[in-house]
Amino acid sequence: MTLAYDATGDGPTLMLLHSAVCDRRMWDRQRTALVDAGYRVVRCDFRGFGQTPLPDRSHNDAEDVLDLLDALGVEQAALVASSYGGSVAVEIAARRPDRVSAMALLCAGLPGHEPTEELRAFGEREDALLTAGDLAGAVELNVDTWLGPEADEAVREDVRGMQRHAFEVQLAAPEGAGRNEVEIDLSAIKAPCLALSGGHDLADFRQIAAQLPSLLADTRHIELPWAGHLPSLERPAAVTDLLITFLHEMVPAG
């Protein structure tokens, strides 16, 4: 099954990977600028998000993205990824280092990360709300947890809509749906990496970003003191400028 996606522009390919709170629409505020900077921009919805349904069997998001790149005839792409999408990007770069030219990771997760008590408590609260049928409460918990103080009401409403839709799709998932976890070797990653973290984010994601320069061969870390967990939505122009500067250095557009 091919993931729902859109592709715009010409030049080196950028694959934009969304967070688990959103879908590919989270990149609406970056797409045009990235195209204008000389890139072919591809955005996809992981299974269970946006326009991609969940199958009745287990799946692996990294393999789905690689299959999409194959279907598009893309041999190598730069990965721009947020949160859970960052974990998928790292898995792709470790399993298929030849396919990744660069990575920009925004408050990324990391395969195998052991969550803190704070993150566990969030997950338990979310599960309790969903079990009780309080979808609105679970949506609002996510909006309040993941968006920092710079997010305006329009952004908060966008995230509400994306998160609510994801919950509705996932709660209606057929039996047997789920993700396959794969062990990876971080030392296999060769792509240069920009790791962004948010000063208002949960400790887990700040720690991951701070550790990445010691875990990956060519990584620079920048903490954004104003940001929560979704900086590309909170200050779109500032994050877009950081992305374009990094990409023009690592993956020059023609």
Q: How many CB atoms lie within 10 A of CB 187?
A: 10
pLDDT digits (tens, 9 = 90+) for 174-214: 776 677 888 899 999 999 999 999 999 999 999 999 999 99
pLDDT digits (tens, 9 = 90+) for 161-170: 999 999 999 9
Length reported for the chain: 254
**Between β-strands 40-44 and 5-8, what pairing exists: parallel, antiparallel or unpaired?**
antiparallel
Is the alpha carbon torsion for 182, 187, 193, 198 positive or negative? Answer: positive
pLDDT digits (tens, 9 = 90+) for 14-64: 999 999 999 999 999 999 999 999 999 999 999 999 999 988 788 899 999
- For the chain, what is the total number of helices (H) and then of strands (E)? 9, 9
pLDDT digits (tens, 9 = 90+) for 80-124: 999 999 999 999 999 999 999 999 999 999 998 999 999 999 999
Exposed, middle or buried by CB within 10 Å (0-12, 13-18, 19+), for 15? buried
What mean pLDDT is predicted for residues 136-154?
A: 97
Residue 244: name the closest of 110, 93, 107, 78 by CA.
Answer: 78
| Distance between CA atoms of residues 132 and 212, nearest Å | 38
Q: In the CATH scheme, what is the code of domain 5-250?
A: 3.40.50.1820
Q: How far is CA 158 from CA 19, 191, 216, in A?
A: 13, 32, 33
What mean pLDDT is predicted for residues 72-80?
A: 97
| Predicted pLDDT of residue 176 | 62
| Predicted pLDDT of residue 2 | 81
Residue 14: name the closest of 24, 118, 55, 61 by CA.
Answer: 24
| Predicted pLDDT of residue 57 | 80
